[in-house]
Chain A
Amino acid sequence: MAVTQRHRISIVGTDIEFPCPETMSVLHGMAQLGRKGIPLGCRSGGCGVCKIEVVSGEYERAKMSRAHVSVEDEAEDRVLACCIRPKSALEIRVIGQINRAFPEQTKTKDDGAAIPPA
């Protein structure tokens, strides 16, 4: 049986890193290990909450909603973590903009995201 290649994903500016199989999206790789760092959304390219910038490394991409990833974004490696599979170790930065329902009542300090303070 072929051994699945795994690559190290690290989130810059944090101490978060996890291994991700080549066959899985970066987001799925994180979630299935129970790890946090990238906000979890629809996992299918539609909602945009898991937007990241790939700072270094090679990856394959699937279709993403243009409402969240423009042509320029894609050209500059701003993509959705649910739609890329690693081909090498990746360094990423979380850049997703998240809108919340009734934020004043539900906002907490720790919403599971690794977004550095603005």
Chain B
Amino acid sequence: MALTGITRPAHAQIRVLDMDKAVHHYGTILGLIETGRDAEGRVYFKAWDERDLFCLVLRQADTAGIDHFAFRVLDVATLDQFEIDLEKFGVPVQRIPAGELLGTGERVRFTAPTGHVFDLFAEKEHLVDPERLLNPSPWTNEAERGIAPVRMDHALLYGPDLEGNLELFTKVLGFRLSEAAYLEDGTTMAVMFLSCSNKCHDIAFGRFPEPGKLHHISYRIESWEKVLRAGDIMGMNHVPIDIGPTRHGITRGCTIYAWDPSGNRFETFSGSYDPYPDWQPIRWTIDDLGRGLDYPQQKLHETFLTVVT
């Protein structure tokens, strides 16, 4: 299928309470590659198989949580069109100048009805070893250092107005619903999973009384066996695990939820499946949300509902 419009989740900027601990967590334990630091002291990371300069930005702060989540769009013309479309839809936008983040062009910023700040951009430097572009090996030493996900994959964000986000993301931004869980009335969404590609989820939202909350940022692992290896590495390093290793019923992802040293949840996951645009979304009922979250344990973990940053 052709990838147009928004092509992928690109990065998250998150707040951390202690930069040294955070850099150790994301750089050494998760095994992302540090690619830069800016004048504000923010630290940038990429996963080993990504081309973009970064997928994660850490900012030292006195609270945890997410500053913004960004998507890469196809080109500058597409970015300009999204700005027009957002304004037409009644969503205020702001232009963030090129260079505000290292190696990144202008960003179009808006706040979604759930209270989350999103950026769209068309240009970000690639950082690729030329050896990776000519007769490359299937993996590198970096693919085995730490947990070593191949990419930042998606995020689950919590906030109150899921209906508003569904409208905005499907009518303006070109996403489609792949799966959703509904409350008892069968129509009110509890959690929804949206795709801008043929991944099962590029962004997901859960209904929560407070706006702008981070549930987790997810990193893609190549196999279930490597998810188990990630669990071992978390154990070796005393990383607090929330759920797993197990499998979600929703999206079928094989997963571990765990927390970084500031309490921001992250996921290491493999599996899932590849829905196409003509596919009907999958529905989950609130009564079976336990299996939706944790299929083998059949349990709606308390922390899934209450613990966010």
Contacts and interface: CB of A to CB of B under 8 A. Distances in A.
Q: Do A and B bind each other?
A: yes
A65 B63 contact: yes
Report whether over half of chain A's contact residues are helix, strand or loop; otherwise say mixed: loop
A63 B17 contact: yes
A100 interface: yes
A111 B302 contact: yes
B200 to A, nearest CB: 20
A106 interface: yes
A103 B210 CA distance: 13
A63 B300 CA distance: 30
B31 to A, nearest CB: 19
B184 A44 contact: no
Contacts, number: 95
Contact of A43 (B158, B184, B210, B259): B259
B262 A45 contact: yes
Interface in A33-57: 39-47, 49
Interface residues of B, number: 34
Contact of A46 (B207, B306, B309): B309
Interface residues of A, number: 26
A42 B263 contact: yes
Nearest to A67: B63
A2 interface: no
A102 B306 contact: no
Q: Nearest 8 CB-CB pairs, A to B?
A: A46-B263, A42-B263, A46-B64, A44-B263, A66-B62, A43-B240, A67-B63, A42-B259
Interface of B: 17-18, 62-65, 158, 183-184, 190, 206-210, 240, 242, 259-265, 286, 300, 302-309
